[in-house]
Amino acid sequence: MKQISQTADTWVSEEETPVSPVLKVIRADDPWQGMNEEEVEDAKEFIRCYLLKDHELILQIPIQAQENDFWAPNHPDFLESAFNTWDYHRTQRPFNKYAYRIRKILEQVRDLAIYHSSTSQPEGRARIQRRYEIVVDNEYRDHLLILVERHQRARDDEQRYEIRKKVAELNCRILQCQQVWQEYAYWE
């Protein structure tokens, strides 16, 4: 055992052993070398005061407070940006949260489909297929089942018509997800 240990020690040279993470890097050109934190702060304060001495006369001039300063960049309520102007907001359309959500769901389905196509193990593919089904179920099918129940309980034809429109839209979204899945999941 001792012989094996000695043989292994000869294989690794001392220069190749990793440095301990506890060690601190000492730089030869460090101006604060050999000083503690208090001495370093004192030296920095001295340098600051020495540099400000050139501007001492200018700094003695009193600053007048301006109460009606229109361009107050330091005011906390003033947010200066090109995106905070009415000209910018007039040109922007209102943000469509529903379309954004649908786009993100389709991106998630596409990512799962690409992941499915790149996985070689059958159990991994089955797991990804199940994740795809869970996404579609959570986003569309569960809501679709609730709407079907409401349609059965609805007594008014106008309510049924509105529910049918929502059901048709959810079916369209499910078909979109299936198309994306078919397009990306079975690459060869």
Q: How far apart are the first and last CA of the chain?
A: 54
pTM: 0.52
Q: Which residues of the chain have pLDDT under 50?
A: 188
Task: Determine the pLDDT at residue 108.
Answer: 94
Q: What is the rounded distance in angstroms from the CA atom of residue 144 to the CA atom of residue 156?
A: 19
Task: Determine the pLDDT at residue 68.
Answer: 57
SS3 content of the chain, % helix, strand, coil (to 5): 70, 0, 30
The H-assigned helical ranges of 83-121 are 86-91, 97-118
Q: What is the rounded distance in angstroms from the CA atom of residue 160 to the CA atom of residue 5?
A: 83
15-54 per-position pLDDT tens digit: 666 666 666 667 778 888 888 889 999 999 999 988 888 8
Task: Determine the pLDDT at residue 35.
Answer: 85
Q: Give the DSSP H or E segment for 64.
A: none
Task: Determine the pLDDT at residue 106.
Answer: 95
Using the CB atoms, write b or e for 5-21: b if 16+ within 10 Å. eeeeeeeeeeeeeeeee
Please state the φ and ψ torsions of residue 156, each to the nearest 5 degrees. Answer: -95, 140
